[in-house]
């Protein structure tokens, strides 16, 4: 049965040890994508590698550290990367199209919908969308992290049936197998817990920027959106098909049978919070376990500047993030009713449409 598949390939899988593109790797992955297409699957590729491809061509001796240097390298490298993919896929009579995105494209629902419509049209025409972060305009504070998060957001946006995140490790282990001979691999993970996060380390190479932790973050986003995830290696011809047959060399992350609505996916993982609300233990319990809305009486303090309709993060007194929601009050309105019972709030701010600071329908738990 055909399905929609998002494949993410990181910089370390596409470049040589000295920097620059490995055409051998590009040709190999193009062949694997072509095999998926030959089986009737729709394929989207999320790729890193623009900075790695361009920094030596532009004249840097090593991967640049400064933002403007990375952007200059990406400006050249992006063209080299796309040309390499187009030439490699053309050998299989496949056409590729480039889409460059930033985190702000997902934070704005109209721009996100426009990107989705473009991707849907390309898939309908049989074109492989090749998606990368727009490194020439992105700032470090808003970057995706070696495109792992980007691949999860794309997979959710297009309602993919599988997200394949490729890495140089054959899955997630209980410890680093390069250092611990007793490390045991997870074949399948049903729930991403704190223990799973403790298994993750930092970046695995000097060329890439993301490590196993960023891949687990991506798996968490995708699986909550209803997209199962594979994290592992594809080294030999036919390995990509083995992933779909549940025989891949890596770790599978299962998903719930029902997925979050797109609005809640946007709220939880794509929106940009403009403020914070710190709540007391009673409000925390009501939000996390009671299925209730957030009322003024449970608020201890607020941070940031926001208006009714903006997204805010909700924190507990230990500075732990509980979730996100759409606030019904302007910052100054909310400041005047913090900690007050509902009986006192009613009548004080008559222009507020709802008594609730965040209605439960406009809330997503992230803890």
Report CA torsion sign: 3, 210, 238, 101: positive
Tokens 């992933």 belong to 243
Residue (of 181, 333, 359, 148) closest to 263 by Cα position: 359
pLDDT tens over the chain, length 367 residues: 679 999 999 888 888 877 778 999 999 999 999 999 999 999 999 998 888 888 888 888 888 888 889 889 888 999 999 999 999 999 999 999 999 998 888 888 889 999 999 999 999 999 999 999 886 666 554 466 668 999 999 999 999 999 999 998 899 998 878 888 888 999 999 888 888 888 775 444 444 334 788 899 999 999 988 999 999 999 999 999 999 999 999 999 998 655 678 888 889 888 889 999 999 999 999 999 999 999 999 999 999 999 999 999 999 999 999 999 999 999 999 999 999 998 888 777 655 457 899 999 999 998 8
Residue (of 139, 143, 135, 146) closest to 211 by Cα position: 146
Kindly list the strands in the beta sheet with 311-315, ordered across the sheet, starting from the edge strand earlier in the chain: 299-304, 275-279, 311-315, 321-326, 363-365
- Strand 311-315 versus strand 321-326 pairing type: antiparallel
pLDDT at 139: 59
pLDDT at 128: 98
- Using alpha carbons only, give the angle 139, 75, 126 rounded to the nearest 5 degrees: 100
pLDDT at 34: 98
Collapsing DSSP to helix, strand or coil, 351 comes out as coil
Q: Which helix (H) or strand (E) holds 8?
A: strand 4-9
Q: Does the pTM of the predicted model rise above 0.75?
A: yes
Domains and CATH numbers, the chain: 4-263 (3.40.1160.10), 273-365 (2.30.130.10)
Residue (of 15, 126, 120) closest to 62 by Cα position: 15
> CB-based contacts of 247: which residues, under 8 Å, 6+ apart?
none
The CA distance from 341 to 24, in Å, is 66
Collapsing DSSP to helix, strand or coil, 14 comes out as coil
Say if CB 268 and CB 366 are below 8 A apart. yes
Tokens of 2: 């055909």
* Per-residue CA distances from 112 to 56, 106, 158, 263, 266 (Å): 33, 5, 11, 12, 9
- Using alpha carbons only, give the angle 94, 99, 101 rounded to the nearest 5 degrees: 155
């Amino acid at each position: 049965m055909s399905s929609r598949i998002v494949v993410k390939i990181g910089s370390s899988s596409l470049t040589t040890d000295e920097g620059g593109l490995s055409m051998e790797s590009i040709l190999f992955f193009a062949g694997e994508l072509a095999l998926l297409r030959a089986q009737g699957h729709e394929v989207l590729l999320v790729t890193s590698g623009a900075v790695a491809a361009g920094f030596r061509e532009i004249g840097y001796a090593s991967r640049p550290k400064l933002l403007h240097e990375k952007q200059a390298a990406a400006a050249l490298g992006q063209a080299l990367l796309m040309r390499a993919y187009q030439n490699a896929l053309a050998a299989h009579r496949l056409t590729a199209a480039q889409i460059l995105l930033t985190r702000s494209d997902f934070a704005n629902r109209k721009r996100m919908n426009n990107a989705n419509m473009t991707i849907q049209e390309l898939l309908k025409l049989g074109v492989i969308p090749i998606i990368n972060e727009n490194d020439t305009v992105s700032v470090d504070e808003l970057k995706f992290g070696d495109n792992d998060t980007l691949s999860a957001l794309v997979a959710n946006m297009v309602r993919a049936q599988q997200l394949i995140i490729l890495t140089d490790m054959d899955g997630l282990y209980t410890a680093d197998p390069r250092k611990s001979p007793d490390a045991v691999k997870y074949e399948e993970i049903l729930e991403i817990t704190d223990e799973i996060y403790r298994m993750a380390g930092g970046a695995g190479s000097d060329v890439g920027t993301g490590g196993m932790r960023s891949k687990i973050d991506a798996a968490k986003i995708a699986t909550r959106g209803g997209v199962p995830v594979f994290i592992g290696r594809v080294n030999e011809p036919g390995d990509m098909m083995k992933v779909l047959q549940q025989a891949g060399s890596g770790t599978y992350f299962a998903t719930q049978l029902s997925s979050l609505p797109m609005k809640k996916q946007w709220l939880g993982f794509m929106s940009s919070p403009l403020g914070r609300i710190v709540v007391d233990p009673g409000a925390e319990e009501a939000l996390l376990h009671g299925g209730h809305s957030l009322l003024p009486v449970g608020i201890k303090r607020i941070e940031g500047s926001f208006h009714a309709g903006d997204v805010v993060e909700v924190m507990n007194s230990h500075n732990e993030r509980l979730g996100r929601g759409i606030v019904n009050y302007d910052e100054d309105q909310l400041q005047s009713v913090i900690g007050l019972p509902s009986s006192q709030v009613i009548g004080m701010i008559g222009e507020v449409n709802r008594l609730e600071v965040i209605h439960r329908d406009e809330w997503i738990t992230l803890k």
